């Protein structure tokens, strides 16, 4: 499946494949979490995400665009089709994600892109102390069934 292929490429590029775990794996959506072996400085998190998306031939989207909001809604629906979630859909929660990590004393950055009919959401974060690994969370979603 294309979602697994893309997720494998990204996790491999970040050297985060070993020990990574799928948090959700369906025919439409794959969520993977892992720890990168790379030592990426905090100021390079955004450019690392951009390079990954560019390397896949993905169009990087503005996080605050209508297109991104639509994609986040699709991803949310795909998750809700598998897991019972009591709260209403909150597409703005994704925008508060970086702030949440920063409040937990972490550097964080994220990005979203589209290649063909596949959406890719990547978030990278690490402790501000510089100690510990770089964490990766990746959502790869087929936008058309």
pLDDT digits over 38-76, tens only?
A: 999 999 999 999 999 999 999 999 988 999 999 998 998
pLDDT (0 to 100) of residue 131 = 86
Nearest to 24 by CA among 136, 134, 140: 140
Residue that wins the pLDDT comparison between 30 and 18: 30
Q: What is the pTM of this model?
A: 0.91
Average pLDDT along the chain: 91
Q: How far apart are CA 38 and CA 14, in angstroms?
A: 7
Write the CA distances from 85 to 22, 96, 104, integer angstroms: 19, 19, 24
145 pLDDT above the threshold of 60: no
90 pLDDT above the threshold of 90: no
Q: How far apart are CA 108 and CA 7, in angstroms?
A: 20
Nearest to 115 by CA among 65, 63, 66, 53: 53
């Amino acid at each position: 499946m294309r979602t697994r292929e893309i997720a494998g490429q990204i996790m491999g590029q970040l050297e985060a494949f070993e020990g990574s775990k799928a948090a959700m794996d369906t025919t439409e959506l794959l969520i993977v979490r892992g720890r990168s072996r790379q030592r990426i400085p905090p100021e390079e998190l955004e450019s690392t995400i951009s390079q990954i998306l560019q390397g896949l031939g993905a169009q990087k989207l503005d996080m605050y665009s209508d297109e991104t909001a639509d994609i986040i809604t699709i991803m949310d629906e795909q998750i809700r089709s598998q897991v019972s979630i009591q709260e209403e859909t909150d597409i703005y929660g994704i925008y508060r994600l970086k702030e949440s990590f920063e409040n937990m004393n972490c550097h964080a950055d994220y990005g979203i892109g589209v290649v063909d009919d596949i959406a890719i959401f990547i978030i990278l974060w690490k402790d501000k102390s510089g100690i510990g690994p770089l964490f990766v969370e990746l959502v790869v979603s087929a936008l058309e069934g």
